[in-house]
């Protein structure tokens, strides 16, 4: 990016403030339109018939009994989808191949998890649609499911997909449940472990956990008889949802307009399509708009959770805390289709540290469970949980402070990241130093409690973004972005536009454009939107400034390069002999007709130079030895955000990620019966934290600017969920005086551990 | 000479060779030369990210290289 050196741009007028969020009032008053709030004339209701088996061949599907019911307008099954193999990949970690996404949307010859879609109907009422589902006849040949990741890796395991061969340069002779293998290595492990004074070798397990967004998946499709129409949906990326839907249905992408509604959480789980192709096809067949919404049970049974993992870690450490060698082996559950985030896990596990000798091997393994989807920093929480716990155990053995052992090994600018390149400026050491000085860390550990410490990391990404900036006649500013606003991007875009143009925050409005209103944007994910879409907005604003300077020059009769832009005004440059008054954006916009017409600019970019974000979290917890319940006494999250554009939103991301990570650590898990049926598919039995469970999460934002962004942004949404898993394990282990190795650290598991030595 | 380091996955196509040196001034030329030598790498190369002098690019076709640049191929990352 040209034009601004963040190191010099320390005195911002708008950036770094936390104005009231523009969508807040609508959301608390119920005016905001979420996916299920869209209603159209003559709209009918779609429902999905889901497999009662975790693994079965589909012998036949008879839709005719459903279609005979008055009020049922359409019914579809796998046979209604275009044949052939789809080429290409869906977005996001866990996105996988489009061909797999198509089969996940609607099973063809085989169901591969309990809850897999087998057929769908559209009827005049939801109740009639449910009745129609019961009328559909499906014959199955039930197969043995494989649910355990280690069992699935064995040669004798039932195959989830008989056509899955481990992806290697040379195709293996036998099919396997292992879809992909990853490996990173450097140095010499043998020499590294020989140099160690302490070696810790452990196995850790993390369960599948759901993103737990409050709004279930929902959409409305209105397709006319020519196949053209509009789809409103709750999505992290309406452009990519449009592309996936068009490809799965073999439709012309230009015939479909996708509108992103307000979204009640996504966390990666709304980067892939589930209902949208079904509603589109049903609407086209029915000739009416079709609304489809999932129940919470369907969300649990059929939408992407994170991967469950088994991780084996060995770490060697010298007396002074230096890590001399690290070796890891991690099996990731992919669910029923390939696409577990095993490589991000491999690339992140040692990322905070400068380690000379290491190996990490990862495996993407099919099991008869829902296909995983991205979940905040996909792959990193599970992988780093294992290493951060082993490192903590080494620190205990050495008698070292857990922050000090991380300081000894901390990566910094110039350190070669385990995944290859040398780090540009990063803020991990700054986070460690800030945490060590934090009043919560300086305070003694409460009696009977344990304090846990762990690091977090995410790469952050750039990718493609578009934005438009239109200047209204009175000088107010309209920003149109193509990134769905999940974590406050409208406020952030307004702040960056206001800062760049030199106007007030209140003079700027932002809205999310549909796929026909603005240029392509990749999904809101990967902590990329404030970084990448913010770059596009800033660039468009700089074009507006250049245009305004040109118009001022025209007005004053001077050369364009004799005009400067200061605090929202065109002013004559130094030495220019022009007896004129500065022109505000409103002055120029009010007379735009005389200087060339409306003032508008756009930018479409593939943003490069995303900056990694590191964190250090710590917490004090106390376990009740009678019940096994863990009470979180304090939790502190320290994270390098780069420049925090809207600090309150940054804190919200840090707090939200911490709470989700604490939930994953303490209670959340998928519980399956032997035949592969999830037994806790609801929030009563799948326990996410609620406000009364936790103290206020304390935050400290560290700001080490990303030199590749005009305002120093790194991105904040992913990193906060990474550390809490190990923070909880380490805190409970230290509090109990017994190491814990398997999540969740639920009361039964803790009591079982306490009973082991009793 | 620009230092090129292939990912483990790409090294699967080179018989294990991971580090190369090239006299090139654009990333595009790195790709052209790799594919000329190992054509089977094409599909994997399309799905890879690259770090040039520490800065990660998802698509870097036109990126300039210095004589002492370091080019690391790495798996593409997106996120949630």
As a whole number of angstroms, the distance between CA A703 and CA A722 comes to 19
Residue span of the structural domain in which B24 resides:
2-75
- List CB contacts (< 8 A) between B74 and chain A: 347, 419-421
Domain CATH for B16: 3.10.20.30
Continuous segment of H or E residues that includes residue B75: strand B70-75
Residue A414 lies in a domain: no
Residue A76 lies in a domain: no
Strands A613-623 and A450-458: antiparallel
Beta strands in A263-377 (DSSP E): 290-293, 309-317, 323-335, 358-366
Residue A467 lies in a domain: yes
The pLDDT tens digits for A166-189 are: 998 889 999 999 999 999 999 999
Annotate A665-692 with DSSP letters as a single string.
Answer: HHT----B-TTS-BS--STTTS----GG
Is B13 an 8 Å CB contact of chain A?
Answer: yes
Q: Is the pLDDT of residue A611 over 50?
A: yes
- List CB contacts (< 8 A) between A424 and chain B: 54-55
Q: Is the pLDDT of residue A9 over 50?
A: no
As a whole number of angstroms, the distance between CA A439 and CA A585 comes to 46
Q: Is the pLDDT of residue B71 over 90?
A: yes
Q: Tell me which residue in A343, A374, A459 faces B80 most closely, judged by beta carbons.
A: A374
- List CB contacts (< 8 A) between B55 and chain A: 421, 424, 608-609, 708
Give yes or no: residues A647 and A718 share one domain. yes
**pLDDT range class, residue B80, cuts 50, 70, 90:** confident
Given A558, A583, A607, which residue is the final one in a domain?
A: A607
Q: Which of these, A278, A369, A357, lies nearest to A324 by C-alpha position?
A: A357
Q: Tell me which residue in A91, A420, A460 faces B51 most closely, judged by beta carbons.
A: A420
Is there a contact between A609 and B56 if contact means CB atoms under 8 Å apart? yes
Residues A490-499 have a mean pLDDT of 98
**pLDDT range class, residue A7, cuts 50, 70, 90:** very low
Is B8 an 8 Å CB contact of chain A?
Answer: yes
Give the distance from residue B52's alpha carbon to the nearest chain A alpha carbon, in angstroms: 8
As a whole number of angstroms, the distance between CA A306 and CA A335 comes to 9
Phi, psi of A423 (to 5 degrees): -65, 135
Q: Which of these, A403, A548, A533, A370, lies nearest to A461 by C-alpha position?
A: A533
Is there a contact between B72 and A344 if contact means CB atoms under 8 Å apart? no
**pLDDT range class, residue A534, cuts 50, 70, 90:** very high
Give yes or no: residues A567 and A700 share one domain. no
Is B12 an 8 Å CB contact of chain A?
Answer: yes
Note whether A50 and A118 are within 8 A (CB).
yes
Give the distance from residue A607's alpha carbon to the nearest chain B alpha carbon, in angstroms: 8
Residue span of the structural domain in which A434 resides:
424-460+611-758
Continuous segment of H or E residues that includes residue A122: strand A117-123
Retrieve residue A629's tokens.
Answer: 């319940």
**pLDDT range class, residue A4, cuts 50, 70, 90:** very low
**What residue in B sits closest to A707 (Cα-Cα)?**
B55
Is there a contact between B58 and A461 if contact means CB atoms under 8 Å apart? yes
As a whole number of angstroms, the distance between CA A64 and CA A502 comes to 64
Is there a contact between A460 and B72 if contact means CB atoms under 8 Å apart? no
The pLDDT tens digits for A638-695 are: 999 999 999 999 999 999 999 999 999 999 999 999 999 999 999 999 999 999 999 9
A277: left (phi over 0), alpha (psi -120 to 50) or beta: alpha
Give a three-class secondary structure readout of A21-69. CCCHHHHHHCCCCEHHHCCCCCCEEEEEEECCCCCEEEEEEECHHHHCC
pLDDT at B57: 85
Split into its structural domains, chain B has a count of 1
**What residue in B sits closest to A459 (Cα-Cα)?**
B77
Residues A26-31 have a mean pLDDT of 94
Q: Which residues pair with B49 in a beta bridge?
A: B74
* Test the B interface: residue of A267, A421, A522, A525 with most B CBs within 10 Å: A421
Continuous segment of H or E residues that includes residue A182: strand A178-186
Give yes or no: residues A486 and A594 share one domain. yes
Retrieve residue B28's tokens.
Answer: 């595009």
Given A591, A607, A623, which residue is the final one in a domain?
A: A607
Give yes or no: residues A623 and A754 share one domain. yes
Q: How far is CA A426 from CA A435, A459, A615, B8, B78, in A?
A: 16, 11, 11, 25, 19
Angle at A553 between CA A548 and CA A554, to 5 degrees: 95
- List CB contacts (< 8 A) between A185 and chain B: 8
pLDDT at A84: 82
Strands A358-366 and A323-335: parallel
Angle at A616 between CA A611 and CA A621, to 5 degrees: 150
Give yes or no: residues A497 and A575 share one domain. yes
Domain CATH for A482: 3.30.365.10
Residue A468 lies in a domain: yes
Is B46 an 8 Å CB contact of chain A?
Answer: no
**What residue in B sits closest to A265 (Cα-Cα)?**
B80
pLDDT at A50: 98
- List CB contacts (< 8 A) between A719 and chain B: none
- List CB contacts (< 8 A) between B8 and chain A: 182-185
Is there a contact between A184 and B8 if contact means CB atoms under 8 Å apart? yes
Q: Tell me which residue in A183, A421, A527 faces B79 most closely, judged by beta carbons.
A: A527
Give yes or no: residues A515 and A576 share one domain. yes
Q: Tell me which residue in B8, B59, B77 faces A459 most closely, judged by beta carbons.
A: B77
Strand order, beta sheet including A613-623: A450-458, A613-623, A630-640, A698-702
Residue B80 lies in a domain: no
N-term to C-term CA, chain A:
63
Given A565, A580, A607, which residue is the final one in a domain?
A: A607
Q: Is the pLDDT of residue A561 over 80?
A: yes
Note whether A483 and A463 are within 8 A (CB).
no
Residues A442-471 have a mean pLDDT of 97
Phi, psi of A703 (to 5 degrees): -120, 90
Q: What is the DSSP letter of A217?
A: P
- List CB contacts (< 8 A) between A463 and chain B: 58, 78
- List CB contacts (< 8 A) between A422 and chain B: 53-54, 70
Give yes or no: residues A749 and A643 share one domain. yes
The pLDDT tens digits for A359-376 are: 999 999 999 999 999 999
Strands A563-566 and A569-572: antiparallel
Note whether B18 and B5 are within 8 A (CB).
yes
| All residues at 6 or more sequence positions from A87 whose CB lies less than 8 Å from its CB, including other chains | A98, A99
Give the distance from residue A644's alpha carbon to the nearest chain B alpha carbon, in angstroms: 20
As a whole number of angstroms, the distance between CA A55 and CA A110 comes to 8
* SS3 label, residue A135: helix
Indicate the length of chain B as a whole number. 80
Retrieve residue A268's tokens.
Answer: 């990666």
- List CB contacts (< 8 A) between A266 and chain B: 80
As a whole number of angstroms, the distance between CA A344 and CA A377 comes to 8
pLDDT at A10: 63
Residue B28 lies in a domain: yes
pLDDT at B62: 83
Cis peptide before A176 (omega within 30 of 0): no
Give yes or no: residues A536 and A582 share one domain. yes
Note whether A279 and A291 are within 8 A (CB).
yes
Residue B31 lies in a domain: yes
Annotate A162-181 with DSSP letters as a single string.
Answer: TT-----SS--SS--SEEEE
Question: How many other β-carbons are positioned within 10 Å of the β-carbon of residue A598?
Answer: 11
Residue A696 lies in a domain: yes
pLDDT at A542: 98
Q: Is the pLDDT of residue A8 over 90?
A: no
Give yes or no: residues A629 and A560 share one domain. no
Is there a contact between A458 and B70 if contact means CB atoms under 8 Å apart? no
Is there a contact between B79 and A95 if contact means CB atoms under 8 Å apart? no
- List CB contacts (< 8 A) between B12 and chain A: 168-169
As a whole number of angstroms, the distance between CA A68 and CA A64 comes to 6
As a whole number of angstroms, the distance between CA A172 and CA A164 comes to 10
Angle between helices A276-286 and A98-105 in degrees, nearest 10: 60
Note whether A261 and A234 are within 8 A (CB).
yes
Residue A364 lies in a domain: no
Is there a contact between A526 and B80 if contact means CB atoms under 8 Å apart? yes
For chain A, what percent of residues have pLDDT higher than 90? 93
For chain A, what percent of residues have pLDDT higher than 70? 98
Strands A178-186 and A358-366: antiparallel
Residue A85 lies in a domain: no
pLDDT at A1: 32
Residue A739 lies in a domain: yes
As a whole number of angstroms, the distance between CA A742 and CA A330 comes to 14
Give yes or no: residues A560 and A629 share one domain. no
**pLDDT range class, residue A5, cuts 50, 70, 90:** very low
- List CB contacts (< 8 A) between B59 and chain A: 606
pLDDT at A758: 65
**What residue in A sits closest to B71 (Cα-Cα)?**
A421
Give yes or no: residues A472 and A581 share one domain. yes
* Test the B interface: residue of A98, A169, A349, A531 with most B CBs within 10 Å: A169
As a whole number of angstroms, the distance between CA A555 and CA A20 comes to 37
Is B36 an 8 Å CB contact of chain A?
Answer: no
Give the distance from residue A5's alpha carbon to the nearest chain B alpha carbon, in angstroms: 17
Strands A698-702 and A477-481: unpaired
Is there a contact between A462 and B58 if contact means CB atoms under 8 Å apart? yes
Residues A601-606 have a mean pLDDT of 96
Residue B11 lies in a domain: yes
Size of interface A-B (CB pairs under 8 A): 109
Split into its structural domains, chain A has a count of 2
Task: List alpha helices for B1-80, DSSP H.
Answer: 8-11, 27-37, 42-46
Q: What is the ipTM of this complex?
A: 0.92
Q: Is the pLDDT of residue A295 over 80?
A: yes
Give yes or no: residues A706 and A652 share one domain. yes
Retrieve residue A204's tokens.
Answer: 């850790």
Is B55 an 8 Å CB contact of chain A?
Answer: yes
Annotate A428-496 with DSSP letters as a single string.
Answer: HHHHHHHHHHSHHHHSPPPTT-EEEEEEEEE----EEEEEEEEE-TTS-EEEEESS--SSSHHHHHHHH
Is B5 an 8 Å CB contact of chain A?
Answer: yes
Residue B16 lies in a domain: yes
Retrieve residue A752's tokens.
Answer: 């079982």
| All residues at 6 or more sequence positions from A733 whose CB lies less than 8 Å from its CB, including other chains | A389, A392, A393, A450, A452, A739, A740
Distance from chain centroid for Cα A307: 14
Is there a contact between B79 and A89 if contact means CB atoms under 8 Å apart? no
């Amino acid at each position: 990016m040209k034009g601004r050196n963040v190191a010099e741009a320390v005195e911002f007028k708008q950036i770094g403030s936390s104005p009231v969020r523009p969508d807040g009032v609508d959301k608390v008053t119920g005016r905001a339109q979420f996916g299920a709030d869209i209603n159209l004339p003559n709209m009918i209701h779609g429902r999905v018939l889901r497999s009662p088996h975790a693994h079965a061949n589909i012998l036949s599907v008879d839709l005719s009994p459903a279609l005979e019911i008055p009020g049922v307008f359409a019914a579809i099954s796998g046979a209604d989808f275009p044949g052939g193999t789809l080429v290409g990949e869906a977005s996001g970690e866990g996105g996988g191949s489009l061909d797999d996404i198509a089969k996940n949307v609607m099973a063809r010859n085989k169901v591969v998890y309990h809850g897999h879609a087998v057929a769908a109907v559209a009827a005049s009422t939801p109740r009639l649609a449910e009745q129609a589902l019961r009328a559909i006849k499906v014959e199955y040949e039930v197969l043995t499911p494989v649910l355990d990741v280690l069992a699935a890796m064995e040669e004798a395991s039932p195959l989830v997909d008989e056509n899955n061969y481990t992806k290697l340069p040379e195709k293996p002779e036998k099919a396997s449940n292992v879809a992909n293998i990853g490996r990173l290595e450097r140095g010499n492990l043998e020499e590294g472990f020989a140099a160690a004074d302490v070696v810790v070798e452990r196995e850790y397990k993390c369960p599948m956990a759901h993103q737990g967004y409050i709004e279930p998946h929902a959409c409305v499709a209105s397709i006319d008889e020519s196949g053209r129409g509009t789809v409103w949906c709750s999505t992290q990326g309406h452009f990519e949802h449009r592309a996936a839907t068009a490809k799965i249905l073999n439709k012309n992408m230009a015939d479909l307009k996708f509108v992103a509604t307000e979204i009640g959480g996504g966390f990666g789980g709304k980067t892939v399509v589930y209902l949208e192709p079904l509603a589109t096809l049903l609407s086209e067949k029915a000739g009416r708009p079709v609304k489809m919404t999932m129940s919470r049970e369907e969300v649990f049974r059929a939408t992407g959770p994170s991967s469950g993992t088994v991780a084996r870690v060995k770490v060697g450490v010298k007396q002074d805390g230096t890590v001399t060698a690290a070796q890891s082996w991690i099996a990731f559950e992919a669910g029923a289709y390939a696409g577990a985030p095993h490589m991000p896990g491999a690339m992140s596990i040692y990322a905070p540290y400068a380690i000379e000798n290491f190996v990490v091997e990862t495996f993407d393994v099919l099991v008869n469970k829902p296909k995983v989807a991205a979940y905040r920093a996909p792959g990193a929480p599970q992988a780093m949980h294992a290493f951060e716990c082993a490192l903590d155990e080494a620190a205990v053995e050495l008698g070292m402070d857990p922050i000090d052992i991380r300081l000894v090994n901390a990566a910094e600018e110039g350190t070669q990241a385990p995944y290859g390149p040398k780090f540009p400026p990063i803020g991990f050491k700054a986070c460690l130093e800030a945490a060590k000085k934090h009043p919560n860390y300086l305070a003694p550990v409460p009696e009977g409690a344990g304090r846990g410490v762990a690091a977090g990391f995410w790469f952050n990404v750039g990718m493609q973004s578009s934005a438009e900036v239109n200047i209204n006649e009175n000088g107010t500013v309209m920003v149109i972005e193509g990134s769905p606003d999940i974590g406050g991007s409208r406020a952030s875009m307004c702040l960056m536009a206001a800062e760049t143009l030199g106007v007030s925050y209140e003079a700027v409005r932002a809205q999310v454009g549909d796929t026909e209103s603005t240029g392509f944007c990749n999904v809101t994910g990967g902590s990329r939107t404030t970084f990448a879409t913010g770059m596009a907005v800033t660039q468009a604003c700089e074009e507006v400034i250049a245009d305004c300077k040109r118009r001022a020059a025209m007005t004053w009769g001077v050369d364009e390069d004799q005009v400067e832009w200061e605090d929202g005004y065109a002013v004559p440059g130094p030495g220019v002999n022009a007896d004129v008054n500065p022109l505000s954006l409103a002055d120029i916009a009010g007379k735009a007709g005389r200087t060339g017409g409306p003032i508008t600019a756009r930018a479409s970019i593939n943003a490069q130079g995303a900056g990694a974000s590191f964190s250090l979290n710590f917490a004090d917890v106390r376990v009740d030895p009678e019940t096994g319940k863990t009470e979180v006494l304090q939790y502190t999250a320290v994270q390098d955000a780069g420049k925090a554009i809207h600090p309150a939103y940054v804190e919200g991301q840090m707090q939200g990620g911490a709470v989700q990570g604490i939930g994953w650590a303490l209670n959340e898990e998928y519980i399956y019966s032997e035949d592969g049926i999830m037994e806790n598919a609801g929030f009563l039995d799948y326990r996410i934290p609620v406000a009364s469970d936790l103290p206020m999460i304390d935050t400290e934002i560290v700001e080490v600017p990303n030199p590749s962004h005009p305002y120093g942004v790194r991105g904040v949404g992913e990193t906060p969920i990474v550390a809490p898993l190990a923070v909880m394990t380490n805190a409970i282990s230290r509090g109990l005086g017994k190491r814990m190795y398997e999540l969740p650290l639920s009361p039964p598991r803790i009591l079982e551990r306490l009973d082991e030595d009793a | 000479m620009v230092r090129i380091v292939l990912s483990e996955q790409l090294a699967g196509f080179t018989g294990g060779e991971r580090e190369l040196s090239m006299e090139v001034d654009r990333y595009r030329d790195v790709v052209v030369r790799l594919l000329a030598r190992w054509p089977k790498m094409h599909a994997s190369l399309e799905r890879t990210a690259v770090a040039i002098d520490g800065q990660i690019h998802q698509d870097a076709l036109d990126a300039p290289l210095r004589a002492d640049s370091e080019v690391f191929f790495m798996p593409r990352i997106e996120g949630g």
